[in-house]
A and B are shown apart, each in its own frame.
Chain A
């Protein structure tokens, strides 16, 4: 069975610090996709990234970067030079094979203190 674990329930950092959000997944599939979503205080979830299991290259988008390591079944998300606007709940997710669904982790609440 698939499982997505976000062990960090809440993290607080001071503005401009770097922060890494951990995500560990379990799957028996050889092909799968991993995702990160952001849920700001306004409530709606916002898609951040989708990653194919065959592509282990790190991805960088501005202050955001993602480290995918198949060997440790992890897909961690780093925010560099955090800002108050980064305060949100972040969800890691994995697609469920053949189910047209995403399996979400329980989320990590990030608070960036000015």
Chain B
């Protein structure tokens, strides 16, 4: 079954305690991305990757890191989480056409993070 898998789905942590949210896709997609969803703000992109070892900032990258060492995995790292990073996080992936980004994203089920 084609899917994007995120872990953990739910996490409560404290300010400053490093954490990693994993994301894995089994569709051999080149493109992967992280979004956060906040009430009244819709979804905002944090980072994206066009392929292995190619990552770039989205609209709200501050406080986050990513890496893309393998095509299937795209972990999101919060080195020193703060309460304003409490949010619902989504990983997404997509194939690329010769014209580039298609916008036809496959999303994971989301990871709800609370930072106390």
Contact = CB atoms under 8 A, between A and B. Distances in A.
Interface residues of A, number: 22
Interface stretch (A60-68, A78-86, A99-107): A99-107
B109 A101 contact: no
A100 B50 contact: yes
A interface majority secondary structure: strand
Interface stretch (B12-20, B39-47, B62-70): B39-47
B58 A101 contact: yes
Interface residues on B, range: 20 to 34
Given A50-B103, A101-B48, 14 more contacts: A4-B42, A35-B103, A37-B105, A42-B109, A44-B90, A44-B110, A45-B43, A45-B105, A95-B103, A100-B31, A100-B48, A101-B45, A101-B59, A106-B41
26 contacts: A4-B42, A43-B88, A44-B108, A44-B110, A45-B43, A45-B105, A46-B107, A47-B104, A47-B106, A50-B102, A50-B103, A50-B104, A91-B42, A91-B43, A95-B101, A95-B103, A100-B31, A100-B48, A100-B101, A101-B33, A101-B48, A101-B101, A104-B42, A104-B43, A104-B44, A107-B42
